[in-house]
């Protein structure tokens, strides 16, 4: 006996809904895997050596260390800074931050609290460091299993190492 066409329509709708669920489920799983792989799974540490030129042409230089902990939402900074007159300052802070995900490798961060350690004497002098790290953008892209390229507000750029 011949089946009416509405049974075939129901079967076709069921098959198409199962196929679309499978496709979208796979895409969601791939996106979750990409987020997991593109962000450091442990705190990453970097040695910093930077030159920063202000709009008026003054050049600051700095050397130091930084660590970024995505899970604890903290950034530790320790820099020896030299101003344009070659005066030296120490920048030693812990930033409690909130990371908001933009995509798989870019994060907006907002500094919720900055702990200034006793040795820090740059508070009144290195205003560009305060302004640039109160919030902004941090970008990660992976070089290898243990190295991430980062860029924080175009002030700090380099390679972050994750211990294995």
Q: Band the pLDDT of 1: cuts 50, 70, 90.
A: low
Is residue 113 packed enough to be buried (19+ CB in 10 Å), middle (13-18) or exposed (0-12)? exposed
Q: Band the pLDDT of 128: cuts 50, 70, 90.
A: confident
Identify the CA nearest to 160 among candidates 73, 71, 41: 41
Give the span between the Cα atoms of 74 and 60, in whole angstroms: 25
pTM: predicted TM-score of the whole model, two decimal places: 0.72
Mean pLDDT, rounded, of the chain? 86
Sorted by where each begins, the domain ranges of the chain are 1-38, 44-161
Residue whose entry in the numeric block shows the structure tokens 């791939």 = 30
Would you say residue 2 has pLDDT above 90?
no
Would you say residue 164 has pLDDT above 80?
no
Give the span between the Cα atoms of 27 and 85, in whole angstroms: 55
Identify the CA nearest to 50 among candidates 159, 162, 164, 161: 159
pLDDT mean over 31-55? 81
């Amino acid at each position: 006996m011949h089946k009416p066409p509405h049974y075939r329509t129901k079967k076709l709708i069921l098959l198409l809904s199962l196929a679309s669920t499978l496709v979208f489920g796979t895409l969601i799983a791939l996106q979750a895997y990409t987020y997991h792989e593109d962000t450091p799974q442990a705190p990453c540490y970097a040695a910093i050596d930077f030159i920063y030129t202000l709009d008026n042409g003054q050049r600051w230089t700095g050397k130091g260390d930084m660590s970024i902990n995505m899970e604890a939402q903290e950034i530790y900074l320790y820099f020896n800074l030299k101003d344009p007159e070659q005066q030296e300052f120490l920048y030693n802070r812990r930033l409690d931050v909130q990371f908001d995900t933009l995509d798989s490798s870019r994060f907006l961060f907002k500094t919720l609290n900055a702990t200034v350690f006793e040795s820090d004497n740059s508070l009144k002098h290195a205003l560009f460091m305060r302004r640039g790290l109160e919030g902004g953008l941090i970008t990660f892209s992976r070089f290898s299993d243990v190295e991430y390229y980062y860029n924080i507000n175009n002030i700090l750029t380099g390679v972050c190492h994750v211990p294995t």
